[in-house]
Structure 1
Amino acid sequence: MKDNFQSKYAENSAGSIGFSFIKAYNIWHRKIKSELLNIGITHPQFVVLASLGYLKQHQNEVKQIDVANSADIDVMTISTIIRNLEKLELVHRTTSKLDTRAKVLSITTEGTQILNRALKIVEAIDTQFFSILKDDEKTFNHLLHTLIQDNS
């Protein structure tokens, strides 16, 4: 039976960096999801709100495509998430003054309040979760950015 599982990690799955990465991600993600549900948003909704909030600091008009690119989420998924955020009255979508085909996003007052609460939650979880790495935290973040750049 053992011969059917033809992985080089068949004897020790801990040797697989991909498997270890997804396990660590799942633990971190479970904590994030659980806490965000307490304030009524999902993790993808938080990612979109945070991306929008960040981009809004640097751009007058933030379009859906800008958020999709920033969050590295496909445009159709972004559209669905934004539609749900609109229903929650956390974001508002209008037509761009510069390009009538584009939708411009803004965060409502309630959206800003939720985002600020969510940022405190997520940043606290990040601090607690990654503090185990101590001085290696910056190196780990740098390595993640290397992976992102080289594989985008």
Structure 2
Amino acid sequence: MRKTTKRSEKIGAESAASGNAGIPAPGEGKRGEAGYLGYLLRQAGAAHRLRMERALTDLGITPPQFVVLTMLVAYPGISGADLARLAALTPQTVSVIVGNLERDGAIERRPHPVHGRIQQIGVTEAGLALLKQCRTRVKKLEAQMIEGFSAGEEQVIRRWLASLAREGEAGGLQALS
């Protein structure tokens, strides 16, 4: 058991009493327009993921499972490694997700017709029905995200986000000298 001192007890009591008084709310201080763009992207991504989790939870699916199903439908016959890259997940995570989706009957694995050791992953009818329900909910979330933007502004945002992703794939932004 760790021995505490009066000083450490006082510091702990001060921290507990202050709560989150020094931490700005999202959208304020460095968590707002004055913040670093990378942090703001991370903060927005975390908030969006939480909204997606809440929207999909009663369907028994997680946001990464939704992404995997989406990519399997969009790009049939892709390998597990390609699926991991497309979903921006590790191969190990994709392996677990595929196992869970298979257990739940949303996907099925079949031997490749030519290469016996390769397995193809296909989305079942139940998986397609689940994905349809998920898409309806995710489209509502996306509509809320772009509310107040014109179609042109939305296109600029999409182009900017896609360019950031391309730059990441190509090795990132050039270091400033």
Conserved? CA contact 1:95–1:104, under 8 Å = yes
2:130 counterpart of 1:110: no
Matches of 1:145 and 1:51, distance apart in 2: 17
Conserved? CA contact 2:68–2:87, under 8 Å = yes
Deviation at residue 130 of structure 1 after TM alignment? 2.1
Deviation at residue 72 of structure 1 after TM alignment? 2.6
Deviation at residue 90 of structure 1 after TM alignment? 0.6
Conserved? CA contact 2:107–2:124, under 8 Å = yes
Conserved? CA contact 1:45–1:85, under 8 Å = yes
Gaps (5+ residues) in structure 2? Answer: 1-28, 170-177
TM value normalised by structure 2: 0.71
2:103 counterpart of 1:83: no
* Higher normalized helix content (fraction of residues): 1
Runs (4+) off by over 4 Å: none
Across the aligned residues of Structure 1 and Structure 2, the Cα RMSD in angstroms comes to 1.5
Tell me what 2:149 maps to.
Answer: 133
* Partner amino acid, structure 2, of 1:62: I
Conserved? CA contact 1:131–1:137, under 8 Å = no
TM value normalised by structure 1: 0.82
Greater alpha carbon shift after TM alignment, 31-40 vs 17-26: 17-26
* Partner amino acid, structure 2, of 1:144: L
Tell me what 1:124 maps to.
Answer: 140
Deviation at residue 121 of structure 1 after TM alignment? 0.9
Greater alpha carbon shift after TM alignment, 136-145 vs 123-132: 123-132
Deviation at residue 143 of structure 1 after TM alignment? 0.8
Tell me what 2:45 maps to.
Answer: 25
Deviation at residue 98 of structure 1 after TM alignment? 2.8
Task: Call closer, same or farther: CA 1:72–1:18 in 2, change over 3 Å.
Answer: same
Matches of 2:168 and 2:52, distance apart in 1: 25
Deviation at residue 151 of structure 1 after TM alignment? 1.1
2:56 counterpart of 1:36: yes
Deviation at residue 74 of structure 1 after TM alignment? 2.0
Percent identical across equivalent pairs? 25
Tell me what 2:113 maps to.
Answer: 97
Conserved? CA contact 2:108–2:123, under 8 Å = yes
Deviation at residue 41 of structure 1 after TM alignment? 0.5
Matches of 2:86 and 2:38, distance apart in 1: 24
Deviation at residue 50 of structure 1 after TM alignment? 0.5
Higher RCO (CA-CA < 8 Å; seq separation 6+): 1
1:41 counterpart SS class = coil
Q: Pick from 50, 55, 70: which aligns with 2:70?
A: 50
1:151 counterpart SS class = helix
1:97 counterpart SS class = coil
